[in-house]
Amino acid sequence: MAIPQGGKMRHHNGKPPRFPRTALHVIGALSVVVGLFAVMLVMTLLTLARLEAAEKEVVHLDQAKHAAHIVEAQIREQYIHQAHSIIEGDLSHLDHYRRAVETTKKAIAQLHDLARRPEDRREATKLAKLARLNDQQFSQRVVPAIRKHDRAATTRLHREIVPTLQRVTRVNAELSRILNGRAASAQARAKALRARTRTVALLCFSLALVIATLVVVLLSRRISKRISTLRVGAQQLSRGDLHARISIEGNDEYSELATTFNQMATDLDEHQQRLLTSQRLASIGQVAAGVAHEINNPLGVILGYVRILSRDASEKQQQTIDVIADETRLCQRIVEDLLDPARPQHLRCAQIDLSEIAREAIRRLREAGRLEDVTVNLPAETVQVAAWADEERLMQVVTNLITNAVEAAGNEGSVEVATKTTADKAALLIADSGPGFAAETVRRAFEPFFTTKPSGVGLGLAISQAIIDAHGGRITIERAPAGGALVSIMLPTTEPGGAL
């Protein structure tokens, strides 16, 4: 059963509200899920960029291959014009041939532009050399032979041209092989990239799904468990069990709610005890008022007769009459004391010094021989603590409390009386070296007629509480740091905005 400290609770409530823990958990889980999606997105974008690069490379390689084929086709075009001139034995196609040579040069230049790697450039250069060789063979040797109408020479030279063309085909085939190889590896790369992206996306998505599901399940289980603990506590309280307390582990809004609930139950219990006390005091007051009224008259009559008897009494008789008078007056005081619980609210408040009241109460008790051999430490003469109170009533309270402390401390015990000002309250603290309050006593000490002493009446604390409450103050009992009992009184320091 967790009973939070009242002071701690109030301090906590004084703080600005924290961001709810449950919301933090949800945000945390969402961040993980969003993070996973972000990783997925970044990976997909990177892969897309690499895919694009691979596809561009394939296109580029295709273009290079195409350019190489055009070079070969152009060289063959050159050859068609050469063959025509050789077979026909005339040079009417020479112009077409020149144009074909120019086109071949352009195609070779384009191929050079597209050849990126050294091996591509090497093959492109070979093609360029073969084109040049073919042109040289035709222009420098075949054309003069045709001009001379040297048929035998043209036929021989024709046979020399053909191997050059075959070498062109072989070089082009080699270049295509190189380019195809690279295109195939780029395509394989693109395929692998696509497969990897698919796997990563699937993994991230599944992980996000698992995390989201886990968070939802765990959070809902945690929340419903906590809410059911709260509900059980609230039901216990509603059935009238004011000792019901809720214990929720952790540091979230539910544990805070449990702490607030426990504080509320403690306050409710305390208020009910006080209500019970004041109801009892009220009925005791009524009885006491009736008894006092009835007894006061015969007591007054007795005192009247005592006075008459005193007139003619001898010295010995006078001693006896004095005892009767003293005891009768004592009876009157007891009757007046009994009337006190019925009307503690009729206060005559003024600005008083709490330390002086404490010192005076101790002085009187000492004179009356009621401090026995208990050591009583009281506030120094220089200490002044202003309070707004009815001096006589307060004296009554302080006397009650110090008497209790002295009784509890017993022979050779000690009592410490201190006063101080805290915030807007004047405080009087009485600590003793006695056994302290038992748990049952703490709960019932303020009940009228509750006593653990064989000759006790059980009204001291009840009357004291009624008087302090009427002042708008507060009286509390607890275990002193040194181990005995500690009784504290808090009073207003100034008139609290009007008459009591």
Binding residues vs ligand ADP (CB under 6 A): 400, 404-405, 408, 432, 434, 437, 441, 445, 450-453, 456-462, 485
Contact at 8 Å (CB) between 111 and 67?
Answer: yes
Nearest residue (CB) to ligand ADP, 104 versus 433:
433
Residues forming beta bridges with residue 491, ordered by sequence position = 426
- CA dist 417 and 425 (Å) reads 17
Nearest residue (CB) to ligand ADP, 256 versus 416:
416
Long-range CB contact pairs, 243-249, < 8 A, 24+: 243/1, 243/269, 245/1, 245/2, 245/3, 246/2, 247/1, 247/2
Residue type, 463: I
Nearest residue (CB) to ligand ADP, 72 versus 432:
432
Other CB atoms within 10 Å distance of the CB of residue 115: 22
Nearest residue (CB) to ligand ADP, 310 versus 452:
452
Alpha-helical regions (H) of 377-477: 391-409, 439-444, 460-470
Contact at 8 Å (CB) between 377 and 409?
Answer: no
Nearest approach in angstroms of CB 410 to ligand ADP is 10
Calculate the alpha carbon distances from 152 to 57, 145, 158 in Å.
Answer: 51, 9, 10
Residue nearest to ligand ADP (CB): 460
Nearest approach in angstroms of CB 462 to ligand ADP is 6
Nearest approach in angstroms of CB 340 to ligand ADP is 13
Calculate the alpha carbon distances from 319 to 161, 301, 324, 368 in Å.
Answer: 169, 20, 9, 21
Contact at 8 Å (CB) between 417 and 428?
Answer: yes
Nearest approach in angstroms of CB 448 to ligand ADP is 8
Nearest residue (CB) to ligand ADP, 349 versus 445:
445
- Strands 414-422, 474-479: pairing is unpaired
Nearest residue (CB) to ligand ADP, 68 versus 408:
408
Nearest approach in angstroms of CB 6 to ligand ADP is 21
Contact at 8 Å (CB) between 379 and 361?
Answer: no
Nearest approach in angstroms of CB 420 to ligand ADP is 20
- CA dist 169 and 138 (Å) reads 18
Nearest approach in angstroms of CB 359 to ligand ADP is 19
Nearest residue (CB) to ligand ADP, 335 versus 349:
335
Nearest approach in angstroms of CB 450 to ligand ADP is 6
Nearest residue (CB) to ligand ADP, 168 versus 417:
417
